[in-house]
Structure 1
Amino acid sequence: MNRILVTPRSLTRNPDPALLALEEDGYTLVFSSPGETPDEAALLSLLPGCVGWLAGVEPVSPRVLEAAHGLRVISRNGTGSDNLPLETAERLGIMVLRAAGANARGVAELAIGLAMGALRHVPEQSAALKGGVWQRRPGLEIEGRTLGLIGCGAIGRLVAKFALALDARVRVYDPYPDHGFTPSGDFAWIGLKQVLEEADIVSLHCPIPPDGTAVLDASAIGRLRSGCVVVNTARAALVDDTAMLDALQGGGVGVYATDVFAVEPPPPSALLAHPRVIATPHIGGLTDESVRRATVAAVENLRGALRQPWASAMA
């Protein structure tokens, strides 16, 4: 009962040296298929008998945890835990730990990059030129434009600072605003309705609401300014795909840039194929620096938890 399962795609493809600390502690590392997101069958095969789990973004069903005899700790190499059945974990006495803020800079930089790429039509003009078409579309500068943030945790704060450094106006909605965060520049906390109606760019940095509904549903999307750029580096379920496609086709949304999908890799769809959709394959936290920080944090969280007397006694 000294095995630890490792499933993040970045670590199964290229194991980080930080994992050696777990082996030095006497644990045997078990890896899922390199570079792939393990499905339920794979987890049911690999997880039983493991005392710890360094987990990625793979969906986890209650059934998986029910079958994970001996599992005491799940350590995420990121901030989110929407993929985990937290109530089941709590009932089974399985501790869930997160690498809070470790990938914040990588995700924040991608969000700004997607916004800038959308304003300057970079993807479509690059594709046209590669296809032999000399297409020059006038773009927009970010200076003086309003960036609306929905959610202002570690990632949202960095996005706000980056945008302010580019002389954008930043307007933020968060259900639990930290009014102590007041960066220099044209920054203000406002309501969600105001963010939707005032922003030239809306960037999502929040968890899925407790009721599971999309933050940008048809009603919310209908409030956006015509031609608004929407950036989603957070969670696919925050956006109603059908409503977003309708808004793109009707011209209500100028560009939808997303790094997250309900199923990864995503199947072909009308939304994914739309010419004003910029799609990246969940690379927000996939920088050398972010992966390193997240791995070190996840490993140290795991080691610390497994050193606890209760964990040793239960192993």
Structure 2
Amino acid sequence: MTLSKRRVVVTQRFFDEAALAYLEQAGCEVVIADLPQGQADGGLDHDSLAALLTGAQGWIVGHAKVTRFLLMALPHLAVIARRGVGYERVDLEAANELGRVVTIAAGGNDASVADQAIGMMIALGRRFREAQAQMNAGSWSILMGTDLYRKTVGVIGLGRIGRSVVQRLSGFEAEVLVATSRPDPEYAARTGVRYVDVETLLAQSDYVTLHAPLSPATRHTIDATAIDRMRPGAFLINTARGGLVSDRDLLAALEAGRLGGAGLDVFESESDPALQPVTDALIARADVIAAPHAGASTREGLGRTNMVAARCVVAVLDGQDPPAQCVVADGRRPAGGRA
């Protein structure tokens, strides 16, 4: 069957040739947005997005806000494919009501983000940033660090990325505590993790790493009260979502010497610019390892997520179902809702 051209707009950087070729072979006309250097689609306003997406049937999106107002302005847009796994910036209720499909790139960036979380644990424990700063200043004095080997690591959230972190921690012979709303006894028997409540996890862990989605229930999982429950000198890692941590409370705890350090790939200021001074103060600290929401941004990880998003777009435009684990809203169904 000869496919007619379907317009697909990509508002993400680093969209590789393999994913582009896949879309084109499926009969899609692909438009990659020419964003100014240093600007991501999360900074585009309604009018800019509407202009870019006029006439598009598919949209491969990064962090742009997908509002009801925008969807109503784009009646031909059938599928919104996130090149990532978070979807808090998408109005799922509106997507369902307006007959749209929203997908995520499930399974595409698990390994990349998990590697980053482990890397941050090691960098913090061994004080890499502080040691290099001292050497740059001419001092070769040795800073005493701490191992990840055989330490207790608390994992909050046990989705695909959380499980990838657990898998990597087995090589360090770590004791792994897990706080999750959906404990799996078979998984615990196979891996040796121990399910505990958040309070116990905080009190017993040398490293705490966050891998939960952001929701009203999980917002500020780590705040001043939670930090007070953590072991003195423990390390906090957040490669999930900025709102899981009260960055203001974290900064206060670091300034007071309450924690050993923090590894941060995400910040509250991403969604609340008023908190940018807090972010600036955090990333200036020698006991903070920071990255600009780059956990999934490896060549391999982006290649995988690009292809997952592309396959989801083609499936919907062909009138088929994307993989169930990728679907977070399907307004084609009478009941709609998350998969």
Whether the TM-score (by the shorter chain) exceeds 0.5 is yes
> 1:201-242 deviations in whole A, cap 9, x for unaligned?
000001013346211122112211111100011001110011
Q: Is the Cα contact below 8 Å between 2:60 and 2:81 reproduced in 1?
A: yes
Which residue pairs with 2:23 in the alignment? 22
Asked if residue 189 in structure 1 is aligned to residue 213 in structure 2, the reply is no
CA-CA distance at 1:4 after TM superposition:
0.9
- In 2, the alpha carbon distance for the partners of 1:172 and 1:191 equals 8
Q: CA 1:183 to 1:126, structure 2 compared with 1: closer, same or farther past 3 Å?
A: farther
TM-score where L is the length of structure 2: 0.85
Q: Which residue of 1 aligns with 2:130?
A: 124
Query: Superposition RMSD on alpha carbons, in Å?
Result: 2.2
Structure 2 residue aligned with 1:274: 285
Structure 2: where are the runs of 5+ without partners? 322-331, 333-339
Deviation by residue 1:164-222 (Cα, 9 ceiling, x = unmatched): 21111110001112222136665211111111111110000010133462111221122
Residue 51 of structure 2: aligned partner? 45
Q: Is the 8 A contact 2:129 2:286 kept in 1?
A: no
Give the conservation status (yes or no) of the 8 Å contact 1:108–1:158.
Answer: yes
Distance 1:200 1:67, change over 3 A: same
* Candidates 193, 196, 206, aligned match of 1:200: 206
Pairs within 5 Å for 1:1-315: 2-11=6-15, 15-34=16-35, 36-38=39-41, 39-40=44-45, 41-182=47-188, 187-211=193-217, 213-263=219-269, 267=276, 269-308=280-319
Change (3 A) 1:23 1:262: farther
Q: 1:50 to 1:259 in 2, by over 3 A?
A: same
CA distance in 2, matches of 1:64, 1:221: 39
CA contact (8 A) 2:121 2:207 kept: yes
CA–CA distance in 1 between the matches of 2:217 and 2:69?
22
| Matching residue's letter, 2:137 | G
Amino acid at match of 1:3: R
3-state DSSP class of the match of 1:3? Answer: strand
Counterparts of 1:56 and 1:103, CA distance in 2 = 13
- Give 1:254 shift: 1.3
**For residues 112-164 of structure 1, what are the alpha-carbon distances to aligned partners after superposition, in whole Å with 9 as ceiling and x for unaligned?**
00000000000121122123232421111112211000001111111112112
What is the DSSP-based 3-state SS (H/G/I as helix, E as strand, rest coil) of the residue aligned with 2:57?
strand
TM-score if structure 1 supplies the norm length?
Answer: 0.91
Deviation at 1:276, TM superposition (A): 1.6
The Cα offsets for residues 276-303 of structure 1, whole Å up to 9 and x where unpaired, read as 2110122211112111111111111111
Cα offset for 1:94?
Answer: 1.0
> How far, CA to CA, are the matches of 1:262 and 1:183 in structure 2?
36
Q: Which whole-Å CA distance do the structure 1 matches of 2:208 and 2:29 have between them?
A: 45
Q: Which amino acid aligns with 1:90?
A: N
Bigger shift: residues 53-62 or 287-296: 53-62
**Identical amino acids, percent of aligned pairs:** 35
The residue type paired with residue 158 of structure 1 is: S
CA distance, structure 2, for counterparts of residue 185 and residue 227 of structure 1: 27
Residue ranges of structure 1 left out of the alignment (5+ in a row): none
Q: Which residue type is aligned with residue 21 of structure 1? A: Y
Confirm or deny: 8 A CA contact 1:104 1:155 kept in the other structure: yes
Q: CA offsets, 1:8-57, max 9 Å, x none? A: 2332xxx3322222222322212223463121242122122111111112
Count of aligned pairs: 308
- The whole-number CA distance in structure 1 between the counterparts of 2:230 and 2:83 is 34
Residue 264 of structure 1: CA displacement? 5.1
| Larger relative contact order, structure 1 or 2 (CA cutoff 8 Å, min sep 6) | 2
Secondary structure in 1 aligned to 2:261? strand
